[in-house]
Structure 1
Amino acid sequence: MAEGVRVAALLGELVERVVPAAKEDAATREELLRYAARLAGSRLGRNSRGRGKEQESPNDDGQGAAARLHDEVLRVVRRLDIARRDPAVAEQCDELILMLLRKQSALQRPDCIVKLLCDLSGTGAAQGSADGLVTALAPLLQKGASGSSDASAIESLVKPSGRWIEPPTNSRAADAAENTTTTMTTTANRAKARDTEALLVRDVLFVFQGIDGHLIKFSPENDAYSLSPLVTLPKAQRKLAQKLCELGWLFRRISGYVNQTLHVDSLGLVSQSFSSALQSELTEYFRLIAILEAQLPSPSTRSGRTDADVGSSSSVSETSRAAGLTLRQLFVWSQEPMRRLRLMAEMADSARGLYGGALASSIHMYSMHGDPFVSTFVDSIMQKVSAPIFESIRLWVVHGELADACGEFFVSDDLDVANDRLWFDKYKMNATMIPGFIGRSLARKILLIGKSINFIRVCCRGSLEDHHDAATEVGADFARLATSEDADGEDGASQSQARQNGVPVRPAQGALGSAEDSMTDRRTLALLRTVDRAAAATNKRLRTILFDQFHLLRHCRALKQYLMLGQGDTIQYLMDLLGPQLELPASQVFRHALVSQLETAVRATNANLDSDDVLERLDVRLMEASPGDSGWDVFVLDYHLDMPLNCVITADAMGRYYEIFTFLWRLKRVEYSLASAWKMEMTTEHVVRELHGVRATLHKFHVLRNEMVHFTSNLHSYIMFEVLETSWDTLVKDLDAAVDLDQVVQAHDLYLASILDKALIGLPSSDDQAAAADASPFPHAGAESDAGDASPASPQAQADGNALRHGMQTLFDLILRFCSVQRRLYNVVMDQVHRLKRTHFHMVERTRNAKWAIDKDSAEAAKAAMERDAFVDPAEIEDAQRKLAQEYDANVRVLAREYRESLMAFLECLKPAASENLKFLRFRLDFNQFYESS
C-alpha cells in the first residue's frame, strides 16, 4: 500500500510537470493519470519481469517500449553525477544506482524511476495532487507486484476516458502470457531478494571491520550503525542486520582503545602489552572475516547471469549456491566472535585511564568469572599483560634493580633519601599498583627482597658473590615461569600458603566444576614458590652479615650494659668519680673532663674486658641545659653507631635509649644520694653521741631514710631484673626468630617499647600499642608478660600511667630534698661537735693558766672563745642543740608527711594495674600494709 501511494504521488507530479495544462483541467489530468497508471502497470511491469516474458509475449511493441524505457533510464543514470551535487537527492541517487546495477530487479521499482525523473526535473515530492489516484492504483500495483495481470481492473481504470491502450486480443495468448508473467515475476523477486541480501551481507562484513557500507553507515550522534531508511527490507532481516552491526560497534571500541595506547610509551609496558593482546585477538578476528568473505559470490558471478538463466530452474539452483553466505549463516558464525569482542570491549572500557598494576588488577577481576569461557579467555590475555610485571619482579628480587620509568611497578624509590635511611624511606610500596593476582603480603615480601639486596650492597658494603648461586637459581625459576613450564597446579597446602600471603586463588572445584586452576593462579603459585626461595636466600645472607660480620647482638648488649646501667661496677665507680663535678651547675660542666673520668672508670673496672669495638663507641654527651639544671640533669652516656647498625638501632631508637638512661640515671642518683647519707651517718655516729639534744632528730632522719632506701631498692630491683632482663631475654629470642631485616628492627623496637612500658617511663597510646600487637611477627612476643600488657591502653590506663610517672618523679625529688636536708643537718651537727671540742680545750687551757675555766663576765675570756670558735658557757651548747633539734624536727616531719602521701598515691596508682609484675611491685613496697594502715 505504501509503495502504491509513492507511485501515485510521483506520477501525479510527473503529469503536472510534463503537461502544465493538466493542473487546470481536472478531466484531462484524470485521464493522463490513468494513462500513466496503465503504462506503469503494463509496460514497466512486464519489462521488469525479464526477457523471458518479452520473448513469449505476442506484443512486440510492448517489448520495444520496455527496452526503450530501460535505455532511457540508463542514460539518465549517466547524468547522476550532476544530480548528486545536491545533498537532498544524494541518498536517493545512491539507492537508485544500487538498484539499476542489479539488472534483474532494476525495473521492478517504477516508483524509484519516476522519483528519479521528478528529482532530476527539479520538482519536490508530490503531496496532495494524486489523492484520487491512490485508491485506483493500489490494487493494480498489488497485482503487478504479484506478477499477475488483471484485465478488468485495467479496463475499469481507463474506460471512462474513452482512450486507453488496447490489451492483446488473443485470449489464449493472453492467458499464456499471464502464466509466464507470474512465473517470471516470482523468479525475479527471489533473485532480487538474493541480490539484496548479498549486498547487505557484504555491507555487514564491512561493518565488522569498522568500515561504512553502501546501505549501513555509522552515526556518531547515536554511536551506532544504522541501515539507510530507503532500504526496503523485511522486519526480520532488518532486525538481524542490526544485531550483526553490534559486532562492528564493538570492533570500533576495541580498535579505538588499541590505537590510542599501543604506541604510547608514556603509558608503560603493561598498557602496551594489553593493547598488543587485544591486537592479537583482532588479528584472529580478521582471519575469520577473511574466511567469511571467501564465501561471498564474486562480482562476475553476480553480473554474469542472464535473464534466461534466471528463468530456468537449474539456473536458480546455481544462483542459490553462488549467493554464498546469508545473514542467518553470518549470524551463527558471529556468535563466538561476539562473545569475545564483548568481553574485550568491557576490559578495554574498564582499563581506560589505568596503567601498570592497577590495569592488571582490573583485568584480573574478569578471570574470577564463573563462566569457563570467560576465565579461560581472560587468562590468555592476562598471560601477556602480566609479563612486564613478572619481568619487573625478576629484576627486583634477583638484582635489586628497578626498571620502571612509567611508575607501573608496585615498588617505588626516592633517590633523594640518604643511605642511612635506605631501609625505611628510600623504597616504598605503592598499594594502588599491586596486581590483584599477587596480594599485599606477597608484594611486601617482594619489596623486602629487593630492599635487602640493596641494603647489603650499599649499607653493608658487602659482596653478593655468595648470593650469586641463589640468584642464578631464582633467575632460572623466573625463566620457567615466563614460559609457563613451572605453572603446574598446586595442592591444597600450596593454596593455603598462598592465601596466607594474600594471593587470591580460586579453590579447587569438585565434581560439579573444573578441578583445574586457571593459568593465572598457577603462575601466581609458582611465583610464590620462587619468591619464597629468593627471600630465604637473601635473608640468610643478610642475617649472616648483620650478626656475624657486624655483631649486632654484641652492640645491643653493650647498650644494655652501659646506657641501661647494667654494668654495675663501672656505673658505680663512674658516679663516684663524677659526683663532685655533676654537683656543679650545668654551665660549669665540661665534656672533656667527663670523658676522661669515663675512661678512668672503664680501665678500673670489668668494662675493660669488652672488645675494643665496643669501648671505642662509648662516649659522653651533654644534653641541652635549662636554667637551674645541674650536671646530673644534662649528663648522658652515648654510644656511636654507623651503617648498617644505625639502620636497626635508629636515631629514634637511640632517643628512647637516652630516655631510659635518664630515668635510670636519676634512680641511680637517688640511690647514690641515700648511700652517701648513710655513709655520713655511719662515719659520724660515734662523734654525735655527745650531742644528746639532737639524737632524737637524727633517729627520725635515720628512720625516714630507711623507708626511702626500701622504696628505691625495690624499684631498682624491679626495673633491673623484672624489666630489663626479661625484655632482653625476649629480644634474644625474637632476633633468633627474625626472618628479615624488618622483623629484626621490629624486635628491637618492641624491646624498647616493652622497657618503657614496664618501667613506667612511658605508656604507648592505644592505637600504637594495638598496631604493634597486630604487626608483631613473633608468636612468643609478650608471652611471658601478662595479657593485660598486650591489650590496647584505655584512656583510664593512660591517666594511670601519667600518674605513676608523676608519682615516681615526685618521690625522687623528695628523696633528693631529704638527702640535702640531712647533709645540712650533719654538717651543722659536726660543726657543733667541733665547737664543743674546742670549748673543752679552751677550758682546759684556762685551767692550766690558773684561771677560771668559765668566766662569763670576763671580756678577755669571751674574746678568746670567739677566736677559737668555742662556747664561752657550756650551757650555750644545750641551747644550740635544742634550737637545732626544733628546726630539723619540723623539716623531717614535713618531708616524712609529703613522702608518705606521695608513696601512698603511687601505691594507689599501682592498685588497678593489670600487669602481675606491677601488682607484685606494689606488694613489695608495702608488704606489711604499713602505708595503707597509716
Structure 2
Amino acid sequence: MATPYTPLRPASRATRRHKNLGLSAKQLNKVTSTIASARRGLREAHGQHDDEDDDDLREEERDEIEREEAATAGPSRWAGAETSFAAEPSFLQAPLNSRVPPPPAFDSPTANTKGKYRDETQDATNLKGLSLELQEAMVLEDLLYVMLGIEGMLIRYSPESPHVDDPLAGAVFLCNDTLDPSIRDLIMRLLPIATHYTALQAFIAAKSIEGCGFVNHALCGALRSVLQEHITLVTRLENAFLSTPRPGEPGLTLHSLMPHLEPSARTLALLYTLTSSLLLDPASAGSSSSDEESDVDSEEERRNAELGLGGIGNVIKGLGGDPEEEGEVLGGEVIAIVWDCMRRMAGDPLTPALLNPLLARLSTPYARTLLVWAECGLLTDPDNEFFVRSQPYLAPSFLERDYTDEYWDRRYTLRDGTPTEPGQKEKMTTGVPLPRANTGRLPGGACVPEFLDRWKRKVLLAGKYVNVIRECGRDVGTRREDWEGGMDCEPFYKRIEDAYQHANRTLLMLLVEDQQLIPRLRSLKRYFFLSQSGFFSHFLDLSMSDLKKPSRTVSLPKLQALLEVAMNLPDEGVGGFREDVKLTMAREGLYDWLLKVVAVSGDLGSIGGSAVHSEKDKEKDSKDKKDRLIAMDALTLDYAVTFPLSLVISRKTLLRYQLLFRFLLHLKVTEHALLGMWTDQLQPVWRSLPLVEASEHEAWRRRVFNLRARMLAFVQQVMAYATTEVLEPNWRKLEASLDKVSTVDQLLKDHVDFLDTCLKECMLTSSKLLKVYSRLLLTCSTFANYSSNFSKWAAKGEQDMQKRWEFFQKFEANYNHSFQVCMDCLQFYASSENTALLSLVVRLGNNGARSQGS
C-alpha cells in the first residue's frame, strides 16, 4: 500500500534565503517589516525623511535579496522531499502544521529519536545575537499556533510530554533555549493554555463516543462551545498580528497579548480541573478490564431473556447478582462532580458564571429522562446513567409464580440501595456497586446528585405507580421532553411533586373503587383473625382427627373441602371472597420459624428478606423433624389476590397475616384441647365422691382440676388480650386512616404499620418473650394431650398414687416456673419497650394470685 506523502509548497525566496533559520514566508515578511520599521525609526531620529533616501533603501534591499538568491541558487530544500505523514507526528496531531518543514529522515520513530530531532532543531535555530524586537516577532506567530495545540519552530513539544501515550493529560510545550529569558518567561506563563486546550480537545474526543452516556455528550457539547470561543479569540489575535498597525499605534506584542488571553487562561484552567476530576485513575480503571471478557456472556443472556429461554435462572441472576462494576464516570456522577466543584469554588466570581450554564446544559438530558419516567413511566437509560434501575427479567405475569412478589420490590429499584418500601429499615446490598476507592462516591447512575437526594424516592414511586396504571389499561398521558436547563430550581421540583401526586391519586382511586380494596382487607381480618364468625371452630371439630396426623401425610384437598363445608354453614356470617381462601401447610413450627427470623434479622421489620433465609434453612432441616411436625402446628391460610391488589396485599403482608393467624390458631387449639379435658373431667369417674374427703386421691384430683383451670384461664386471657386489646383497636385505627389516606405510599405504610404493631403487641417480635411464651403454651397443650391418662388414673382410685403425683408434679412445677418467668419478662418489656403489654400483665396477675393461693 502506498504511503501518503505530505503536500509540499513551492520553495520561496524567503525560504531559500533563511534556510538556516527555517523561517516561513509569513515569518520572513513579519521580520522584514519589523526591520524596516526599526530603520525608519532610526532615520526619523536623525531627521532623514526624504523620499529619495527611501527609494535608495528599497533599491538596496532588493539588490541584497537578489545577490543572496544567486549565492544560494541550487535545488530547493523542498524539491524531491518524500517524507510521508507517518514521519511527522506533529502533522498527524495538527494537520494545519504543514507550514513546518518535514524532519530529516531517521531510522526508527522512537521517543528517543524524536527527542533528539527536536533538540537538534532547537540548536539549529539559534537566536542569540538577535534583537528583542526580532525575537518577539519570530516567536509571536508560533505562540498563536501553539494556543491551538500546534507546535511551531521555536515552541515545540517537550520530549517528556505525556500527550502521545495519554492524550487526556494534554501536551507540554518547551521554548527555544536561545530565546531571551524575559521573552521566554512571558511565553512560559502562556503555555499552560495550550496544555489545557489540548487536554480538553482529547477529553471531548474520548467522551463523545457511544457508551459514554447522554450527560457526557452534553458536557462535550458545552466544552466545544467554550473552545470555539477560544479559537475565535486566537483568530482575532492572529488577524491583529498580520494586519499593518495604524500610524502611531503599536502592533500586537507579547505584553499586549497577555490581557487578551488571561480570561481564556482562567476558563480553560477551570475546565481542565473539572475534566481531570471526571477521569478515572489508572488503578481504578483497571478494575473494569473484565467488562470485555463478559460481553459475550451478557449478550447471550440478554438474547435468551428476550426469547424467553432464560427461565427462572435469569430472574434469580437479575435479583441477586454480583455488584455492578465501577465503570466509567457518567450520568448522575458527572452532575454530582460538577455540582461539588461549583460549591467548592463558589468564592471565585468566574466559577458561577462558567459552571452554572455548563451544569444546566449537561443536566438537560438527565432531567428529561427523570421527567419522562416520573410522568409517563418510561425508562430510557441505555448506559445506566439514571438512579432508577429496571430489571427486565421481571414482568406482571411473574406474580402468579413468585412467592416474594418481586415485581413490585425488584422490578424498579434505586441503584444506591436506599429502602423504599414500608417496613424496610436497612439499605439493600444486592446489585449495589461499591463506592470508588479514591472519592467514596458511588459510580455512574448509582450516584444521586445532592439536590435530588430528597426527591429520589418520590421519583421512583411516581414512575412505578404510572407503570401499574398503564398495565391496568388506563391512559397515562403522552411523553413530554420539553425541559431545558438545570434541575436545582423550584419549577423542576414542582413538576416532580405534581407527577407524584397525580400518579398517587389515580392509582389510589383504581385500588379503592375498581379493585374493592377495603372489602378485601375486611375479609382478610375476618378469615385470618378468626373473628366475627365461628366457622373455624366448626372446621376444627370436623377435621381434628386429621389435624393430629403428621403434616406430610395429611390430605390438603380433604381439609380444603372441610373448610368450605364449614364456611358454607348457615348463620356463619363469612361474607364474600371465600373462594380466595386456601389452606396450606408450613414446613416448620411457628415459634421455631420466628426464632430463626429474629436471630437473622434482629426483628420482624425485614420479614420478607428473612423469609428467603428461612426458606433456605428449611431445606436443611432433618427429615425426622419434619415427621414430628403435626398438621395442627403446620396449618395456615393463604389468600389469592391479583394484580394490582397484590401491591397492597403482597406476599410480605400476607406472611404477617399468616403469623398472626398461626398465633391465634395455636391459642384456639390449646383452648379447644383444655376444654375437651374439662369435658372429660365432667364424667362420673371424676365426679364420684371418695369415701374419705381428705384422702390423697381427692387431693390429687383437685390439684389436676386447679392446674387445668389455671391453664385454661391463661390461654383465654391471652386470647382475649390479642383480639380485644390488640387486633380490634389497631384495626379501627387502620380503618380511620384509610378513610383519610390520599396517597398510595401512605396506604402501604399504614397497612404495614398496622401489621407490625399487631405482631409486636402479640409478643411475636422478641426472642426472649417467644421462648418463654412458647414453652408455657407447649406445657399447656402437652398437659391437655394427657387427658386420657389422667382419666384412667382417676378410675383406679387410690392405686399408684406415688406415680401419679410424680407425673403430675412435673407438669405443675414446669407450668409454675414458666408462668413466673413469663410474668417477669412481660413486666420488664411492659415497663421498657412495649407498654401495651401492661394490660396483659394485669389480666394474668389474678391467675398468678390464684396459683399462689392454691
TM-score (structure 2 length as normaliser) = 0.66
Q: Secondary structure at the match of 1:912?
A: helix
Q: 1:805 to 1:71 in 2, by over 3 A?
A: same
Residue 816 (structure 1) aligned with residue 804 (structure 2): no
Structure 2 portions without partners, runs of 5+: 1-34, 51-57, 84-98, 100-119, 162-170, 280-327, 400-405, 417-441, 589-625
Structure 2 counterpart of 1:679, one-letter code: T
Per the alignment, residue 335 of structure 2 pairs with 360
1:379 is aligned to 356
- Aligned ranges for residues 464-863 of structure 1 at < 5 Å? 464=475, 467-468=476-477, 475=480, 479=482, 481-482=483-484, 521-522=488-489, 525-586=490-551, 589-604=554-569, 606-611=571-576, 614-624=577-587, 626-682=626-682, 684=684, 688-689=688-689, 694-732=697-735, 735=738, 740-763=743-766, 801-802=767-768, 804-826=769-791
1:922 Cα deviation from its structure 2 partner: 2.4
Distance, in Å, in 2 between the alignment partners of 1:721 and 1:644 is 32
Partner of residue 918, structure 1: 837
Alignment check: 8 A CA contact 1:351 1:362 kept: yes
- The one-letter code of the counterpart of 1:651 is R
Matching of residue 907 in structure 1 with residue 846 in structure 2: no
- Which amino acid is the alignment partner of residue 357 of structure 1? G
Indicate the residue corresponding to 1:407 in structure 2: 384
Aligned counterpart for 2:158 among listed residues 216, 219, 222: 219
* Alpha-carbon distance, 1:83 to partner: 12
Please say if residues 437 and 521 of structure 1, whose CA atoms lie closer than 8 Å, have aligned partners that are also in contact.
no
Distance 1:723 1:236 in 2: 90
**Paired AA for residue 152 in structure 2:** G
CA shift at 1:535, angstroms?
0.4
Structure 1 residues 326-335 or 435-444, which shifts more?
A: 435-444
Secondary structure of 1:265's partner?
Answer: coil
Distance 1:695 1:703 in 2: 12
1:757 to partner: Cα distance:
2.3
Amino acid at match of 1:646: S
Residue 336 of structure 1: SS of its match in structure 2? helix
Q: For residues 204 and 809 of structure 2, what CA distance do their matches in structure 1 show?
A: 91
Change (3 A) 1:733 1:214: farther
Say if 1:735 and 1:744, in contact at 8 Å, map to a contact too: yes
**Partner residue in 2 for 1:258:** 204
Asked whether 1:454 is paired with 2:467, we answer yes
Decide whether the 8 Å contact of 1:649 with 1:745 is kept in 2. no
Tell me if the contact between 1:569 and 1:606 (Cα under 8 Å) persists in the aligned partners.
Answer: no
Distance 2:534 2:555 in 1: 24
In the alignment, the residues of structure 1 paired with residue 350 and residue 640 of structure 2 have an alpha-carbon distance, to the nearest angstrom, of: 64
Deviates more, 1:269-278 or 1:408-417: 408-417
Shift of the 198–606 alpha-carbon distance from structure 1 to 2, 3 Å rule, reads farther
Structure 1 pair 624/367, CA: closer, same or farther in 2 (3 Å)?
Answer: closer
- The amino acid across from 1:716 in the alignment is M
Question: What is the deviation of 1:528?
Answer: 0.8
Provide, for residues 632-687 of structure 1, a one-character-per-residue CA deviation record: whole Å limited to 9, x for no partner. Answer: 22322332223223333333433333333222211111111121222333454896
Match of 2:365 in 1: 388
How far does the alpha carbon of each residue in 1:28-82 deviate from its partner, in whole angstroms, 9 at most, with x for none?
xxxxxxxxxxxxxxxxx9xx989989999xxxxxx99999987665545556966
> 1:268 aligned to 2:213?
yes
Deviations 1:413-459 (A, max 9, x none): 1111242322211112224424525422212211111111112223x
Q: 2:263 aligns with which of 308, 322, 336?
A: 336
Work out the CA distance in 2 between the residues paired with 1:65 and 1:687: 152
Offset at residue 375 of structure 1 (A): 0.8
Match of 1:204 in 2: 143
Q: 1:710 to 1:327 in 2, by over 3 A?
A: same
Tell me the alpha carbon deviations over residues 597-617 of structure 1, each in whole angstroms, 9 at most, x when there is no partner: 212221225544512xx2111
The 5-angstrom pairing of residues 188-203 of structure 1 reads: 193-203=132-142
Tell me, yes or no, if structure 1 residue 243 matches structure 2 residue 162. no
1:323-369 deviation per Cα after TM superposition (whole angstroms, max 9, x unaligned): 62121111111111112111222222222342112112212223322
Letter in 2 for 1:392: T
Q: Secondary structure at the match of 2:456?
A: helix
Larger helix percent: 1
Return the offset for 1:568. 4.6
The structure-2 alpha-carbon separation of the partners of 1:686 and 1:382, relative to structure 1 and needing over 3 Å to count, comes to: closer
Structure 1's 65 and 375: CA in aligned 2 closer, same or farther, altered over 3 A? closer
Provide the secondary structure at the position in 1 that maps to 2:797: helix
Residue 244 to residue 629, structure 1, CA distance change in 2 (3 Å) = closer
Question: 3-state SS of the aligned residue for 1:911?
Answer: helix
Give the Cα–Cα distance (whole angstroms) in 1 for the partners of residues 631 and 381 of structure 2: 55
Distance 1:642 1:699, change over 3 A: same
CA distance in 2, matches of 1:549, 1:67: 101
Structure 1: give runs of 5+ residues left out of the alignment.
1-44, 57-62, 88-97, 99-118, 126-141, 146-188, 303-316, 485-518, 764-800, 833-879
- Contact between 1:584 and 1:630, CA under 8 Å: does it hold in 2? yes
Residues 560 and 582, structure 2, Cα contact 8 Å, conserved in 1: yes
CA distance in 1 between counterparts of 2:189 and 2:667 reads 88
The 1:905–1:73 alpha-carbon spacing in structure 2 relative to 1, beyond 3 Å, is: same
Name the % identity.
22
TM-fit CA distance, 1:905: 1.9
Contact 1:382–1:520, Cα closer than 8 Å, also in 2: no
Q: Hey, what's the Cα distance between the residues in 2 that align with 1:334 and 1:743?
A: 59
Number of aligned residue pairs: 631
Q: 1:202 to 1:672 in 2, by over 3 A?
A: same
The answer to whether the 8 A contact 2:147-2:197 is kept is yes
Residues 371 and 496, structure 2, Cα contact 8 Å, conserved in 1: no
Change in 2 beyond 3 A, CA 1:630/1:605: farther
Which structure ranks higher in relative contact order (CA pairs < 8 Å, sequence separation ≥ 6)? 2
Contact 2:367/2:487, CA 8 A, preserved across alignment:
no
Question: Which stretch of the first structure deviates more once superposed, 267-276 or 732-741?
Answer: 732-741
2-side partners of 1:403 and 1:603: how far apart? 52
Please tell me whether the aligned partners of residues 208 and 247 of structure 1 are also in contact (alpha carbons under 8 angstroms).
yes
Whole-Å separation in 2 of the counterparts to 1:393 and 1:288: 38
SS in 2 for 1:412: strand
CA deviation after TM superposition for structure 1 residue 579, in Å: 2.5
Q: CA deviation at 1:744?
A: 3.8
